[in-house]
């Protein structure tokens, strides 16, 4: 650790928590992850643990399960020769906060790519479009734990974002890049459409429930993160995906995520 990073760690009392990407991988277990096998430096995180299993079985070569604590399944395999893990995060800011914190801080994970669904607001958006969260706004109190005395702007790693956009273009996917809002409410069930109109006025293009804590943990622990979503709902247009549409669109997005890993693998 450089003198600069040591000074930051000392000032915040977080020296033991910051991930270095080195010896952290030797941790035996955490309260929610008890590895039965290796965890790759790059992790794809859907919310649903069964979707993590689906990613492993459909896309990865020689996948091996590394976690089953609390039913939160995690698998490690390879994609075109590059080690990749897939693990569920659960739903919501707190659950993503727990699992991404433990992966970054205890197991040497360098990059986490959130692969999930979102409610889209863009006038030109269609179901199945990929959205990259260039920033994550929130009404959550998550960042109060840092005692910053201000508002923290949660953003992704630019290298991952740049690679993700390049991957989407190369694969011919429709996509949008913009500020998103991470809330505690599932967009389809939110009581008031007026809430979304207010966020839209500020340029918000989509809503999700996990990106904010992921981006905060990456910033705090020295990791890299990117949240990408498939648009599953366009509430203001009254459009929602059926099960078959979800599978097709998620496969398309997962391919973008895996190509993003390939494009950035040398930085591990």
The residues annotated as belonging to the active site are 233
Number of neighbouring beta carbons within 10 Å of residue 262: 16
Encoded tokens for 76? 């490690």
CA–CA gap between residue 149 and residue 129 (Å, rounded): 37
Instruction: Single out the residue of 214, 128, 132, 223 nearest to residue 180, CA to CA.
Output: 132
Encoded tokens for 47? 């919310």
SS3 of 87, please?
strand
SS3 of 137, please?
strand
Distances, alpha carbon 246 to alpha carbons 19, 55, 172, 251, in Å: 34, 14, 18, 8
Instruction: Single out the residue of 41, 115, 43 nearest to residue 86, CA to CA.
Output: 43
DSSP 71: G
Instruction: Single out the residue of 222, 264, 217, 257 nearest to residue 132, CA to CA.
Output: 257
CA–CA gap between residue 22 and residue 177 (Å, rounded): 32
Spatial CB neighbours of 111, under 8 Å, sequence gap ≥ 6: 41, 42, 43, 157, 160, 223, 224, 225, 226, 261, 264, 268
CA–CA gap between residue 241 and residue 222 (Å, rounded): 36
Q: At what angle do helices 211-221 and 93-106 cross, to 10 degrees?
A: 30
């Amino acid at each position: 650790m450089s003198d600069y990073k040591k000074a930051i760690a000392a000032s915040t009392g977080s020296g033991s928590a910051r991930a270095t990407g080195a010896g952290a991988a030797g941790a035996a277990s955490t309260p929610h992850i008890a590895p039965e096998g290796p965890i790759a430096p790059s992790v794809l995180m859907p919310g649903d643990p069964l979707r993590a299993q689906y990613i492993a079985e459909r896309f990865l070569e020689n996948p091996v399960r590394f976690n089953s604590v609390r039913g939160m399944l995690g698998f490690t395999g390879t994609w075109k020769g590059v080690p990749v893990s897939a693990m569920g995060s659960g739903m919501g800011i707190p659950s993503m906060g727990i699992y991404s914190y433990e992966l970054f801080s205890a197991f040497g994970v360098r990059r986490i790519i959130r692969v999930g669904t979102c409610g889209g607001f863009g006038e030109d958006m269609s179901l199945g479009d990929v959205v990259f969260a260039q920033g994550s706004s929130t009404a959550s109190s998550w960042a109060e734990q840092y005692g910053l005395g201000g508002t923290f702007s949660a953003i992704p790693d630019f290298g991952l974002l740049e690679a993700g956009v390049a991957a989407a273009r190369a694969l011919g996917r429709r996509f949008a890049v913009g500020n998103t809002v991470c809330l505690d409410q599932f967009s389809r069930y939110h009581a008031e459409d007026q809430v979304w109109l207010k966020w839209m006025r500020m340029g918000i293009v989509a809503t999700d429930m996990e990106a904010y804590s992921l981006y905060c943990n990456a910033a705090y622990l020295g990791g890299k993160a990117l949240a990408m979503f498939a648009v599953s709902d366009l509430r203001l247009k009254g459009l929602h995906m059926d099960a078959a549409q979800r599978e097709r669109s998620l496969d398309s997005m997962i391919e973008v995520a895996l190509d993003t890993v390939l494009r950035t693998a040398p930085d591990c």
